[in-house]
Amino acid sequence: MPRAVLAINAGSSSIKFALFEARHGNPDHRLSHGQIEGIGSAPHFVARDGDGAVLTEYRWPAGATLAHEDLLAPLLAWITSHLGADSLAAAGHRIVHGGGKYTRPVALTEAVIADLARLVPLAPLHQPHSLAAVRAMRKLRPELPQVGCFDTAFHHGMSATATRLALPRRYADEGVRRYGFHGLSYEYIAGRLREQAPALAAGRVIAAHLGNGASLCGMHDGRSVDTTMGFTALDGLVMGTRCGSIDPGALLYLQQQHGMTAAALEHLLYNESGLLGVSGISNDMRTLLASQAPPAREAVELFVFRIAREAGALASSLGGLDGLVFSAGIGEHAAAVRAAVCARLAWLGIRLDEAANAADANLISTADSRVQVRVIATDEEAMIAAHACAVALPAPPP
């Protein structure tokens, strides 16, 4: 019977999970993955094997109001029936915000959970979901070690200058500063890059996590130097439905001239902007790339323009550039977007190998490109599982 570790990534409408063999906690030993989706509307639990085949499925009645315990109970029951009682050795959770204090994965005790709840005002749309899943797991399996893995932690080494906002100091004292996010993804990418191209990994690299949420991270020797997301996950690039960097004066205008409340602005900036807002068609890059409509093209052009602009800024923070890594849904699969970004960054010495790019190959720059360009599939759940193993199941002394 394998000992297993469960990685949980709880969001507002879905809980994604992956189950790994505890011995390694790496993607080569993934036993299953899946999600509980449609939370709040038509909840549905599905677990799949490595090839995507459905292993088990469960649907709750549509409209059922369910607590996180109700949602996670069938997952735990399935793990027991699939792997055997006592097979689950630990659970790791993606926690969006660790504030300035949680700079590495940590065992989730009651005191830590209470501490993390104090960070809810810094990430009101995300932190409560992470903590609800943690509390539900504690209720269902009080004896199970649980580990918190923070999206902010990878960036904790950024300089004071890179984290400062140009506001009066009293706001920084209450935590209003740049944190950066997508840290589990960047940590995973940095690790894979170290395996695939150690010399490059030791240099100055920009990693581009381009999914529904999107950001760039400038890394030197695998450590975050600067990143495009800041105080919240709204900052930086144009995203599926989020605006990215915006002149704060535009928000004052919307408040003053349109009478928009904080709640209305929040909805506009997180849910109605980005690719969806500019195209008026979709937040999905596949749909936009397939469309001939001018607003769809303009949305993609803006997405690319802003990646290139921010990459230029990060190259400056890094003092030059040796590598560029594309990752997440768009970065891993949208060759046209990669090509357009690389064309705009040709001044940095990037030369794209068109055939390798079209094939989604790992190395997509030419041999004479001054900057190496790579595609690395990210795996936040694998990173969570690795952390959960390291914190909760330390190897016995030799």
Q: Residue 198 CB, nearest distance to ligand ADP (Å)?
A: 26
Cβ proximity to ligand ADP, 67 vs 359, nearer residue: 359
Per CB under 6 A, does 14 bind ligand ADP? Answer: no
Q: How many helices (H) and strands (E) does the chain have?
A: 16, 13
Q: Do 388 and 137 touch, CB atoms closer than 8 A?
A: no
Choose which of 148, 211, 274, 323 interacts with ligand ADP (CB under 6 A).
211
Per CB under 6 A, does 23 bind ligand ADP? Answer: no
In 3-state terms, what secondary structure has residue 197? coil
Looking at the DSSP bridge assignments, the partners of residue 219 are: 205, 224
Q: Residue 98 CB, nearest distance to ligand ADP (Å)?
A: 20
Amino acid of residue 86: D
Centroid of chain to Cα 3: 27
Per CB under 6 A, does 307 bind ligand ADP? Answer: no
Question: Catalytic residue among 151, 226, 235, 379, which?
Answer: 151
Per CB under 6 A, does 284 bind ligand ADP? Answer: yes
Part of the chain binding ligand ADP (CB under 6 A), chosen from 80-88, 132-140, 217-225, 324-332: 324-332
Choose which of 90, 116, 225, 334 interacts with ligand ADP (CB under 6 A).
334
Per CB under 6 A, does 328 bind ligand ADP? Answer: yes
Q: Residue 335 CB, nearest distance to ligand ADP (Å)?
A: 8
Choose which of 3, 82, 333, 351 interacts with ligand ADP (CB under 6 A).
333
Residue indicated by tokens 């690719």: 275
Cβ proximity to ligand ADP, 322 vs 379, nearer residue: 379
Choose which of 56, 87, 212, 245 interacts with ligand ADP (CB under 6 A).
212
Question: Is the alpha carbon torsion for 219, 206, 283, 59 positive or negative?
Answer: negative
Neighbours of 336 (CB within 10 A): 14
Per CB under 6 A, does 59 bind ligand ADP? Answer: no
Q: Do 152 and 185 touch, CB atoms closer than 8 A?
A: no
Q: Taking CB under 6 A as the criterion, which residues in 135-174 touch ligand ADP? A: none
30-37: strand order across its sheet: 54-59, 44-48, 30-37, 15-21, 4-10, 88-95, 146-150, 106-107
DSSP state of 90: E
Part of the chain binding ligand ADP (CB under 6 A), chosen from 80-88, 96-104, 166-174, 325-333: 325-333
Cβ proximity to ligand ADP, 95 vs 108, nearer residue: 95
Taking Cα atoms as reference points, which of 59, 34, 32, 38 lies closest to residue 46?
34
> Cα dist. 212→50, 103, 111, 242, 291 in Å?
23, 25, 33, 9, 18
151 is catalytic: yes
Part of the chain binding ligand ADP (CB under 6 A), chosen from 107-115, 219-227, 228-236, 278-286: 278-286
Q: Taking CB under 6 A as the criterion, which residues in 215-244 touch ligand ADP? A: 240
Rounded Cα–Cα distance for residues 109 and 152 (Å): 19
Rounded Cα–Cα distance for residues 191 and 255 (Å): 44
Per CB under 6 A, does 189 bind ligand ADP? Answer: no
Part of the chain binding ligand ADP (CB under 6 A), chosen from 209-217, 259-267, 292-300, 338-346: 209-217
Tell me which residues touch ligand ADP (CB under 6 A). Answer: 211-213, 240, 284-286, 289, 328-330, 333-334
**Residues assigned a catalytic role:** 151
